[in-house]
Chains A and B, each alone.
Chain A
Amino acid sequence: MTLDPSYIGRTYPPSGPYEVGREKIREFADAIGDAHPVYRDPRAAQALGYDDVIAPPTFVIVLSARVGAQVVFDPELGLDYSRVVHGEQRFVHNRPVRVGDRLVGVLTVDNIRTAAGNDILSTRVEIATDAGEPVATAYSTLVARGPDREP
């Protein structure tokens, strides 16, 4: 059950760029039931002062989870994904994600611990454009519940 603590502090190479697509933002906004026009209509976005449509505040997870998969699904770490639930999540935005952004993410393992029989993995993914402009940081804590644990 126990995770390999030698991963603490490990930082991974930057991910390849993820290009934020117009239809991906629309699809995500539809999936979270958010009808705000700033996610769909360039004119509505311009009325709020943006060049083009922006993404919802939690859209960053699409990229940060992808980048985080480098460690989450690393068999050497020993995380049982079928027992994983989300423990905590925090986003810090330098600016909204915009359509056309080419984003790269740098993954760092902030902490690994065991509490009450659960394995707990805390990571952060620092997201910037491929030109180096900071966009957001996503902090995630995943909990792999030990056997016979109530959720």
Chain B
Amino acid sequence: MAATVNYDGVAVGTELPTASFPLQRVDLVRYAGASGDFNVIHWNERVARSVGLPDVIAHGMLTMAEVARVVTQWSGDPGSVLEFSVRFTKPVLVPDDGVGATLEVSAVVGAKLDDRRVRIDLTVSSAGEKVLSMARAVVQLA
């Protein structure tokens, strides 16, 4: 592993660069194919509404994968992510309107751990609402 960020150079409260990630319906279809998760609520409005959802929703795992980039781009080495956990508190609605949804991500060093590891705390919202809680990654730094 070869993170480019040095443990000694960060403090609790150090902010990572923020990012926003657009999601359109085609991204959900592509993720369904790549991941093997063909749950119909991720591509079919009729079925999504029939089970009480307001619209098609993004795969939680697609949201999780997208926001991980804030951590991996910062650390410089995706293999430096030792742990990654989230709670999916609100669905990310992806309407078929040519615009879709946007994930807004900010992240901060929440704790310095032993063995030159840090805990990163992420805040993720879409359409003005937090969609994840307890979104945390443990990262091995240099």
Give A contacts to B, CB under 8 Å: 27-28, 30-34, 36, 38-39, 47-50, 54, 56-58, 61-62, 65-66, 81-93, 95-96, 139, 145, 147-151
Contacts and interface: CB of A to CB of B under 8 A. Distances in A.
B122 to A, nearest CB: 13
Contact of A56 (B52, B59, B68): B68
Interface stretch (B8-16, B32-40, B94-102, B106-114): B32-40
A32 B86 contact: no
Given A28-B35, A56-B65, A90-B84, A85 B78 contact: no
B34 A31 contact: yes
A47 B117 CA distance: 21
Contacts of A95: 79
Interface on chain A toward B: helix, strand, loop, or mixed SS?
A: mixed
Contacts of B77: 38, 48
B60 to A, nearest CB: 3
Contacts of B73: 36
Size category of the binding interface on chain B? 35 or more
Interface of B: 1-2, 21, 27, 30-31, 33-37, 39-41, 47, 51-54, 57, 59-62, 64-66, 68-69, 72-73, 76-79, 81-88, 90-91
Given A27-B33, A39-B78, A66-B36, 10 more contacts: A28-B35, A30-B30, A31-B33, A32-B69, A34-B72, A58-B65, A62-B35, A82-B40, A89-B60, A151-B57
Given A57-B68, A58-B61, A145-B51, A86 B88 contact: yes
Contacts of B85: 88-91, 139
Nearest to B68: A57
A43 B125 CA distance: 36
B83 A91 contact: yes
Contacts of B91: 85, 151
Given A28-B34, A49-B1, A93-B82, A58 B40 contact: no
A124 to B, nearest CB: 12
A81 B39 contact: yes
A40 to B, nearest CB: 12
B86 A89 contact: yes
